[in-house]
Amino acid sequence: MEIGKLTITGIQEALRARRVSARELAQEALRTAREENPKTNAYLLLAEERALRAAEAVDAALGRGQDPGPLAGVPVAVKDNIVTRGVRTTCGSRLLENFVPPYDATAVERLERAGAVVLGKTNCDEFAMGSSNENSAFGPVRNPAAPDRVPGGSSGGSAAAVAQGTAVAALGSDTGGSIRQPASFCGVVGLSPTYGRVSRYGLVAFASSLDRIGPLARNVRDAAAVLQAMAGRDERDSTSAFAPVPDYQAAMTGEARGLRVGVPLEYFEGLTQDTAAQMEKARALLASLGCELREISLPHTSYAIPCYYIVCTAEASSNLARYDGVRYTWRAPQAETLAEMYSLTRGQGFGAECKRRIMLGTYVLSAGYYDAYYLKAQKVRTLITRDFLAAFEQVDVIATPVSPFPAFRLGEKLDDPLQMYLSDIFTITASLAGLPGLSVPCGRTAEGLPVGLQLIGPHFGEPVLFRLGDAFERAGGASL
């Protein structure tokens, strides 16, 4: 039994045939995670007790002849910015190094209700701000495919946990590409669902109008099964959608013939050579599946990065205000006055990237600048969304690279935030438009670095993404 080779369907069959117990699976997953973790630093915490308890509940249900749920016994890792009751949740930040939430995120609650076994919490960029996982207060994560390289970010730990075979699936969060980009860097599948598809209750907010929880897995089917368990309206999140949740497995017919796939010209500029080469192969494979490839234009793409960094920093500056040293946060011990408590706690508690974004966000919301920056950015956001809506009148799916380049070396872009921000240039547009984006592996570079293909769908278009992603995967997309 190798956790790294299991699929969700395989686990369901094995459990129900009593070839393995959920407890055995959990123990094996925990053992592997413990063993592998020093190589990657993917996990910040293993929740052994909770995992075993959940696994035993699955076994007990099976013993009583009850249905233990569609994710029964599936070992899942959870990004550490998603709260877990009684299990420390740090967001990769020193400020929350001792924060034990008294409540579960809705997504976690729903996964566990479906029988999933939460193994532990995965490393991430501090408050999900970063594209390399180097902004974690608890050390960077190494890419299992290339240990001297980053796994991408901010859900780097979740991507690495799945890639290294310690978890069958993982939860990540995506604000501007934080699931899709690490999935592509590590060679796994990652989905950023439509905004509102999965409840944000319990996802520690970075940029509330962009944040989403989504799955990372080793194949499209597993990602779809995890989404199936989490999706749907939640009364605790006013922005969660009422739209009914379709049957995602049924959408995966293995057929992609006739799908109109848009290829936006703007997304194929500035790629590294090897990424461009993989994209060429991906286009050819899509064509061979019977997809109709159409060149399209999304003219406002070039405004996406400034727009995104205004919207997300503005919201972040407000969302991060609560980490002030008063309640659950770490507090700077030297503080003598209220002003000092704030400035020392936040000055020492936040890492450089968080501080940079808090300052940017505070600036763009300030009196006299709001109209020029925040309001303007919201208008640009509308234009970007309209680009997509117009495109989806002609095509069913849009295919782009996930990132202009594959995983880079640890430290390589650390001193150049703008270079770092470019990692997300192809993912932030779908984020701004609230659209779902699926990252599927599409082969490796000559150096053996994974490359990802991004499939963007219309709002609530997850079924078509899964259908095409699954067909692409079955046709050998991962080994192009």
Partner 1 sequence: MSTAAPRLATPEELELYEPVIGLEVHVQLGTRTKIFCGCPNEFGAAPNTNVCPVCLGMPGALPVLNRAAVELGIRAALALHCEVRRRSVFARKNYFYPDLPKGYQISQYDQPLAEHGWVEIQTPAGPKRIGVHRLHLEDDAGKSSHEGYRDSDRFSYVDLNRTGSPLAEIVSEPDLRSPDEAYEYLTELKLAMQFAGVSNCDMEKGNLRCDANVSVRRRGAAEFGTKVEIKNLNSFRFLRQALYFEIARQVALVESGGRVVQETRLYDPNLDETFSMRSKEEAHDYRYFPEPDLLPLEVGEAWLESIRSSMPAMPAELRRRFVSDYGLREYDAQVLTASRELADYFEGVVHACGDARAAANWVTGDLAALLNAQSLDIALCPVPPERLGELITLVQKGELTGKLAKEILPKMFESREGARAIMEREGLRALSDTGELERIIDQVIAANPKQLEQYRGGKTSVMQFFVGQVMKATRGQANPAAVSELLRRKL
**Rounded to 5 degrees, what angle do the CA atoms 288, 292, 298 make?**
125
Please pick, from the candidates 61, 335, 342, 474, the single residue that binds partner 1 as defined by CB under 8 A.
342
Contacts with 400 (C-beta within 8 Å, 6 or more apart), sequence order: 263, 264, 267, 268, 426, 453, 454, 456
- The verdict on whether 93 is a catalytic residue reads no
Q: Which of 131, 154, 158, 403 is an active site residue? A: 154
214: part of which helix (H) or strand (E)?
strand 212-217
Radius of gyration of the chain (CA): 21
Closer CB to partner 1, residue 114 or residue 204? 204
# of chain residues touching partner 1 (CB under 8 A):
43
In this structure, what is the dihedral angle of CA atoms 326, 332, 334, 340, given to the nearest 10 degrees? -60
State the nearest-atom distance from the C-beta of 376 to partner 1, in Å.
13
Check: CB of residue 78 under 8 Å from CB of residue 170: yes
**Residue 79 annotated to the active site:** yes
| Segment interacting with partner 1 (CB under 8 A) among 21-29, 68-76, 201-209, 244-252 | 201-209
* Residue 360, token pair as written in the block: 């940017």
Given candidates 321, 359, 372, 389, which one binds partner 1 under the rule CB under 8 A? 321
Residue 361 or 437: the one with the smaller Cβ distance to partner 1 is 361
Applying CB under 8 A, which of residues 24, 28, 237, 274 lies at the interface with partner 1?
Answer: 237
Adjacency order of strands within the sheet including 260-264 = 43-46, 117-122, 75-79, 169-174, 212-217, 189-192, 437-444, 450-456, 397-401, 260-264, 292-296
Site for partner 1 in 93-112 (CB under 8 A): 96, 99, 101-103, 105
What would the two tokens of residue 177 be?
């590409």
Asked if residue 203 binds partner 1 (CB under 8 A), the reply is yes
The answer to whether 200 contacts partner 1 (rule: CB under 8 A) is yes
380 binds partner 1 (CB under 8 A): no
- Which residue stretch of 196-204, 215-223, 445-453, 456-464 sits at the interface with partner 1 (rule: CB under 8 A)? 196-204
**333 counts as binding partner 1 under rule CB under 8 A:** no
* Residue 155 annotated to the active site: no
| Per-residue CA distances from 195 to 47, 212, 244, 314, 461 (Å) | 29, 6, 14, 19, 11
Among 5, 147, 148, 370, binds partner 1 (CB under 8 A): 370
Distance from C-alpha of 93 to C-alpha of 44, rounded to nearest angstrom: 11
Nearer to partner 1, 8 or 96 (CB): 96
**Touching partner 1, residues 288-317 (CB under 8 A):** 314-315, 317
Q: Which of helix, strand or coil describes residue 436?
A: coil
- Of 132, 178, 403, 439, the active-site residue reads 178
The residue length of the chain stands at: 480
Residue 374 has, within 13 A of its CA and on its CB side, a CA count of 18
Asked if 272 touches partner 1 (CB under 8 A), the answer is no
* Residues with catalytic roles: 79, 154, 178
Which positions lie near partner 1, rule CB under 8 A? Answer: 82-83, 89, 91, 96, 99, 101-103, 105, 200-205, 207-209, 235-239, 314-315, 317-318, 320-322, 324, 326-328, 338, 342, 362, 365-367, 370, 374
